[in-house]
Amino acid sequence: MIHSLFLINTSGDLFLEKHWKSVISRSVCDYFFEAREKAVEPDNVPPVIPTPHHYLITIYREKIFFVSVIQTEVPPLFVIEFLHRVAETFQDYFGECSETTIKDNVVIVYELLEEMLDNGFPLATESNILKELIRPPTILRSMVNTITGSSNVGETLPTGQLSSIPWRRAGVKYTNNEAYFDVVEEIDAILDKSGTTVFAEIQGVIDACVKLSGMPDLTLSFMNPRLLDDVSFHPCVRYKRWESERVISFIPPDGNFQLMSYHISAQNLVAIPIYVKQNISFFETGSSGRLDITVGPKQTMGKTVECLVVTIHMPKVVLSANLNATQGTYNYDPVTKILLWDIGKLNPQKLPNLKGSLSLLSGAPKPEENPSLNIDLKIQQLAISGLKVNRLDMYGEKYKPFKGVKYVTKAGKFQVRT
């Protein structure tokens, strides 16, 4: 399936490569670099890039491009899912998935990639199995390995590999038994100049951190499960039970994992948490323009909007910006032409406003279209879709675990047209 994998940073440096079947020349990445140049943002690079003899399938995670090389036709989503699993494994092992940590742990990275793919086909992708095969790095273990010349590779086969529950290792014991769930929702939305919703959808995930002894059997139920119609589950979930009763029944993996992801596309179910009043105009004469933006809360269910940032990609003729912000700070980069307004926490009593003048290149024609605004935000303790966890029940074990649920709403691709 996958012949080779290349890791490339945002500067275009290829800092790691791994080949499974045969060595493929780095020159195949030239097609990727061409596509990268055409895309304005790293996120806009096409996930599938055809070349005369190969297909390149890519993802962009943590400022790194994972570029896989395929020689035969395979389902692209299968490869994309695997690449995301690789990035998540690095994050699980090293605390973060960055160029620095990958270079610092390059031996373990190659050992992981060797176990995760066998002759180009996925083999062991579950975190629990991998951690028994290749022990995660610690300072003490690194020192011992350096002195003795030993490696992090385990000496015995993982117990879960041979059982009917490969995602959970046997004989798990904890002093404190706890199960925590994070419901994280991202809003993708496009609003027009008048504030009307052109497009809106929610991408949601439920991340779990389960540290329970023995072999617990959990059941998670929701107050309003009918909201969820487009769902994807971890392999541990019993799908038949979900179809018939709309409850999630599962024997959990040990540690951190993504229990499920869901997608809500019905616009009547997507609440827009903020409104934006904006006026950006460029004058025919005088090489100048005006900018006036106000942001306010809309459907936040009484919760506070935090980490609010407005980003505007200005036309190339805009040289500088002389603005005044009533809240937060702004910065205009004359090279990249990006205006960044970092508002922080939204105060409903005193709405943040940014206004002032823009200086344009002398003699240049007026920009044909106004720039759009990209919004980034976070709302704690709120799932914007209205999804709520009802209860978590445990069977098969006699102890009482600590249980907790946290809700977070973020902005995905949230755009306001001017």
pLDDT band per the 50, 70, 90 thresholds, residue 1? confident
Report CA-CA distances (Å) from 390 to 76, 228, 348, 365. Answer: 36, 14, 31, 59
Distance, in Å, from the CA atom of 89 to the CA atom of 109, rounded to the nearest integer, reads 10
Q: Identify the weakest region by mean pLDDT among 16-30, 183-197, 361-375.
A: 361-375
pLDDT band per the 50, 70, 90 thresholds, residue 369? confident
pLDDT above 90 covers a percentage of the chain that reads 67
Distance, in Å, from the CA atom of 387 to the CA atom of 116, rounded to the nearest integer, reads 35
What are the boundaries of each domain within the chain? 2-148, 178-270+384-416, 274-380
pLDDT above 70 covers a percentage of the chain that reads 94
pLDDT band per the 50, 70, 90 thresholds, residue 126? confident
pLDDT at residue 73, as a whole number: 87
Fold classification of 2-148 is Beta-Lactamase (3.30.450)
Report CA-CA distances (Å) from 6 to 14, 66, 324. Answer: 7, 6, 45
Tokens standing for residue 375 = 């919004």
Give the mean pLDDT of 157-184: 81
Distance, in Å, from the CA atom of 212 to the CA atom of 210, rounded to the nearest integer, reads 6
Tokens standing for residue 225 = 């499960």
Asked whether the predicted pLDDT for residue 160 surpasses 60, the reply is no
Q: Identify the weakest region by mean pLDDT among 3-17, 94-108, 123-137.
A: 123-137
On average, the pLDDT of the chain sits at 89
**CB proximity list for 369: less than 8 A, separation 6 or greater:** none
pLDDT at residue 99, as a whole number: 94
pLDDT band per the 50, 70, 90 thresholds, residue 150? low
Distance, in Å, from the CA atom of 315 to the CA atom of 322, rounded to the nearest integer, reads 16
pLDDT at residue 213, as a whole number: 94
Q: Which CATH number fits domain 178-270+384-416: 2.60.40.1170, 3.30.70.3270, 3.40.50.300, 3.30.470.20?
A: 2.60.40.1170
**CB proximity list for 181: less than 8 A, separation 6 or greater:** 206, 207, 208, 209, 220, 259, 389, 392, 404, 405, 406
Give the mean pLDDT of 257-283: 89
DSSP element (H, E) containing 296: strand 288-297
Q: Identify the weakest region by mean pLDDT among 9-18, 75-84, 162-171, 252-261.
A: 162-171
pLDDT band per the 50, 70, 90 thresholds, residue 36? very high
- Beta bridge partners of residue 237, listed in sequence order: 250
Is it true that 2-148 and 274-380 share their CATH fold? Answer: no
Tokens standing for residue 280 = 């950006």
**Cα distance from N-terminal residue to C-terminal residue, the chain:** 45
Q: What angle do CA 147, 148, 153 make, to 5 degrees?
A: 120
pLDDT at residue 144, as a whole number: 60
> pLDDT digits over 317-344, tens only?
899 999 999 999 999 999 989 999 999 9
> pLDDT digits over 41-54, tens only?
888 999 999 999 99
> pLDDT digits over 379-389, tens only?
999 999 999 99
Distance, in Å, from the CA atom of 345 to the CA atom of 173, rounded to the nearest integer, reads 42
> pLDDT digits over 346-366, tens only?
988 899 999 999 998 887 888
Distance, in Å, from the CA atom of 138 to the CA atom of 121, rounded to the nearest integer, reads 29
Asked whether the predicted pLDDT for residue 145 surpasses 70, the reply is no
Judge whether 200 and 187 are in contact, CB under 8 Å.
yes
CATH superfamily for 274-380 is Mu homology domain, subdomain B (2.60.40.1170)
Give the mean pLDDT of 80-102: 93
pLDDT at residue 46, as a whole number: 94
Distance, in Å, from the CA atom of 235 to the CA atom of 238, rounded to the nearest integer, reads 8
The pTM (predicted TM-score) of the whole model is: 0.82
pLDDT at residue 40, as a whole number: 78
